[in-house]
Amino acid sequence: MASATVECTIGYYCLAGAAYPKACNEGRQTPAAGTDSGSESVALKCVQEVSQKWVKLPGVNEASPVIVMKGWILDGYYSISAGESDPMPTKAGSICPIGYTCSRGDRTLCPAGKYCESTGMTAAAVSDAAQSALLLPPQPCIAGFYCQAGTNASRPTNFAQNKGDLCPKSHYCPIGSGVVGTGVTATGTVCPAGYYGDGLGNLALTDCHKCPFGYTCEGTALLFANIVACPINKFCPQGLTTAAAATTCTAGNYCPAGSMEAIPCEAGTF
């Protein structure tokens, strides 16, 4: 039974009698579906690229080998080398592996701050509803975890295997953690001065502990073992960031090291 013809997809051109659509040159695409380029050598009417589209190939025998050129294969798959003979669209080893995205034939590590736990993932969302459930873009790293480039699990717990892990102590990790920025490391956001954090998997700043009464928490990314007792002759309220900000003991009171408040002297003493 003869297969039905399929309108050529945006981003590809179809010569007369073509069994497969062919991609426009890198960085260019056809302005509308069904464009007849007329020339394979130049790919006429391929204009500046707007977006990459999934190519549907109904009626095509997937076991039939074609010549795969880099950038001419489906999103979610990659080409090891230009000109490789490869059944389209699948071949053992050519589907995009976990921890990567594949678009225009290139395989790229899943970006930092996201995870790629399925095979066949693409760099961006696919607009075709029929394929959107099959071709997923990278997903934001779940709160309480960090995801560095190449993370291959939604809840990574072994960095050597997953390229991500539970949010470490003295940090907190909101959704999308793993991207380096101001006050943000590759393993999450540091607990700021005036706080410390001893637990794993913190989600937000509220999971960092405010510096306790009688101590100072100077610096960032502190553990409880790093905080310092309030100096002698001073007392320290909660959340203090430096010893210099501690309150000096007033006359008639005394303040040993680690004081939370001034202690009144006994009668007859000062």
**DSSP secondary structure, the chain, as one string:** -PPPP-PPPTTEE--TT-SS-EEPSTTEE-SSTT-----TTTTTT-EE-----PPP-TT--TTSEEEE-TT-S-TTBB-SSTTEEEESS--TTTBPPTTEEEETBEEEEPPTTEE--SSS--SS----HHHHTTSPPPEEPPTTEEE-TT---SS---HHHHSEEEPPTTEE--TTTT--BTTEETTEEEP-TTEE---SS--SGGGSEEPPTTEE--SSS--GGG-EEPPTTEE--TT---GGGSEEPPTTEE--TT-SS-EEPPTT--
Domain regions of the chain by residue span: 1-60, 62-140
Residue 91 or 228, more confident:
228
> What is the pLDDT at residue 78?
72
* Entry pTM: 0.66
The predicted model gives 174-187 an average pLDDT of 90
Residue 106 clears pLDDT 70, i.e. is over it? yes
Q: How confident is the model at residue 54 (pLDDT cuts 50, 70, 90)?
A: very low
How confident is the model over 195-223, as a mean pLDDT? 96
